[in-house]
């Protein structure tokens, strides 16, 4: 199925840590699901040498994890530390969503 997700938030991170996860999906995605993700605001700090983002599914979970990718680079997870506390952040995600069987 094709999905489009638009998330806007103004986090107060403080000492928060961990991966940026997009949850609340109606069905658990297949672990092969990968969607295009665009951090569409200036409040993000990109992981080093990463120039594009994807939202990847993890097996047996109902959420996507935001990852940074770049030419010749390993995948890098966006974390709470990549967001500016108190600033508005918008993430747009679109792509094919496969449900787990």
Cα–Cα–Cα angle for 3, 4, 5, nearest 5°?
A: 120
**Is residue 98 one of the residues assigned to a domain?**
no
**Is residue 101 one of the residues assigned to a domain?**
no
**Is residue 56 one of the residues assigned to a domain?**
yes
Which region holds residue 18: left if phi is over 0, alpha if psi is between -120 and 50, else beta? left
Number of domains in the chain: 1
**Is residue 100 one of the residues assigned to a domain?**
no
- pLDDT for 42: 61
What is the domain extent for residue 75? 2-8+18-92
**Is residue 75 one of the residues assigned to a domain?**
yes
| pLDDT (tens digit per residue) in 33-83 | 767 777 665 667 777 778 778 888 776 788 888 888 888 888 888 888 888
pLDDT exceeds cutoff 80 at 21: yes
Top pLDDT among 33 and 10 is at 10
Q: How far apart are CA 93 and CA 6, in angstroms?
A: 6
**Is residue 23 one of the residues assigned to a domain?**
yes
Q: Give this prediction's pTM.
A: 0.72
Distances in Å between the alpha carbon of 66 and those of 34, 101? Answer: 10, 23
pLDDT exceeds cutoff 70 at 96: yes
- pLDDT for 5: 83
**Is residue 99 one of the residues assigned to a domain?**
no
| pLDDT (tens digit per residue) in 81-93 | 888 888 888 888 8
Joined tokens for residue 24: 């609340």
- pLDDT for 41: 59
Task: Give the number of other Cβ atoms within 10 Å of residue 60's Cβ.
Answer: 9
């Amino acid at each position: 199925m094709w999905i489009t997700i638009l998330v806007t938030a103004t986090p107060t991170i403080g000492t928060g840590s961990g991966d940026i996860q997009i949850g609340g999906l109606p069905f658990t995605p297949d672990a092969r699901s990968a969607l295009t993700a665009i951090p569409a605001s200036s409040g993000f700090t990109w992981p080093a040498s990463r120039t594009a983002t994807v939202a990847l599914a993890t097996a047996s979970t109902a959420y996507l994890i935001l990852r940074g990718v770049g030419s010749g680079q390993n995948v890098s997870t966006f974390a709470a530390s990549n967001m500016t506390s108190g600033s508005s952040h918008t993430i747009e995600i679109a792509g094919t969503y496969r449900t787990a069987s």
